[in-house]
Amino acid sequence: MSGSSTPHQRKKKRQFVKKAITKNRITNKLNWLDEKRKVLVNSGKAHTSRSGKHQMAKQIKGPAYCRLKCFEKFDMVARQNIFKTFWNLGDHSQQWSFIASHVKEIRKKQWTQDSKRLNVYKLFLPLSSDVGHKQKIMVCKTMFKNTFSISNTFIQSAIDKHDKNTGICTKDMRGFHSNHPIILNTAMKENVIKHVQSFAPIESHYTRKDSNKQYLDSELTFKKMYKLYTEWCKEQNITENIASSVRQYKDIINKELNIAFHVPKKDQCDLCHAMKNSTSPTNDDKLKHKSHLDNKKLARELKNIDKIEAQSNTSDICTAMFDFQKINNTPHGEISVLYYKRKLSVYNFTVFDAGLKEATCYMWDETVAKRGANEVASCLFSFINNKVNAGVKDFRFWSDNCAGQNRNRIVFFMYLYVSNKFKVDVCHRFLEKGHTQNEADSVHALIERTSKNKLIYIPDEWYTLVRWAKQNSPSYTVVEVNQDLVLDFKAWLHTKNWIKDTNTEKISWNKIREVKVLGDNPDIIEFKYDFFEDNYRKLNCSNNLKLTRGRKKKEQEVILEKVYNNPIPIPELKYKDLISLCDTMIIPKKYHDFYEKIKHSKDEQGNDEED
Identify the pLDDT of residue 304. Answer: 93
The answer to whether position 172 is within a domain reads no
Q: Is the same domain home to 434 and 558? A: yes
Which residue, 226, 246, 261, sits at the end of a domain?
Answer: 261
As a whole number of angstroms, the distance between CA 353 and CA 310 comes to: 9
Do both 345 and 429 map to the same domain? yes
Rounded Cα gap, residues 161 and 178, in angstroms: 19
- 26 lies in a domain? no
CA distance 476 to 496: 37
Domain count, the chain: 3
Give the model confidence (pLDDT) of 350-394 as tens digits: 999 999 999 999 999 999 999 999 999 999 999 999 999 999 999
Q: Amino acid letter at 49?
A: S
- Sign of the CA dihedral 110, 114, 119, 125? negative
Q: Does an H or E element contain 215, and which?
A: strand 214-216
State whether 248 and 144 are in the same domain.
no
Select from 219, 260, 389 the least CA-distant residue to 318.
Answer: 389
**pLDDT number for residue 426:** 96
Q: Are 257 and 293 part of one and the same domain?
A: no
Give how far Cα 188 sits from Cα of 40, 227, 569, Å: 35, 16, 38
Type of residue at 129: S
Which long-range contacts does 177-183 make (Cβ < 8 Å, 24+ apart)?
Answer: 182/244, 182/248
For position 211, what pLDDT does the model report?
55
Q: Biggest alpha carbon distance in the chain?
A: 131
Is residue 25 a part of any domain in this protein?
A: no
Q: Does residue 209 share a domain with residue 140?
A: no
- Do 493 and 575 have their domain in common? yes
Same domain for 587 and 511: yes
Say whether both 257 and 324 belong to one domain.
no
Q: Report d(CA 241, CA 222) in Å as an integer.
A: 19
From 95, 128, 161, give the residue that closes a domain: 161
* Structural domain includes residue 8: no
In a domain? residue 606: no
If asked whether residues 129 and 219 sit together in one domain, one would say no
pLDDT of the residue at 210: 46
Q: Do 370 and 472 fall into the same domain? A: yes
> Are β-strands 514-518 and 425-430 bridged in parallel, bridged antiparallel, or unpaired?
antiparallel
pLDDT at 159: 87
pLDDT tens sequence across 262-276 = 655 455 677 887 878
Q: How many CA atoms lie within 13 A of 28 on its CB side?
A: 6
pLDDT, tens digit (0-9, with 9 covering 90-100), for 570-588: 999 999 999 999 999 999 9
Are the C-beta atoms of residues 162 and 96 closer than 8 Å to each other?
Answer: yes
Output the pLDDT for position 130.
Answer: 65
Report if residue 480 sits inside a domain.
yes
In this structure, the answer to whether residues 412 and 552 fall within a common structural domain is: yes
Beta bridge partners of 139: 123
Neighbours of 109 (CB within 10 A): 6
Which residue among 161, 178, 195 closes a domain?
161
Are 420 and 549 in the same domain? yes
| pLDDT < 70 regions, the chain | 1-27, 113-115, 130-132, 177-182, 203-212, 262-268, 544-555, 604-611
| Residues forming beta bridges with residue 135, ordered by sequence position | 127
Instruction: For residue 220, tell me if it sits in a domain.
Output: yes
Q: Has residue 52 been placed in a domain?
A: no
Q: What domain range includes position 207? A: 186-261
Measure Cα distances from 316 to 354, 414, 513 in Å: 13, 20, 24
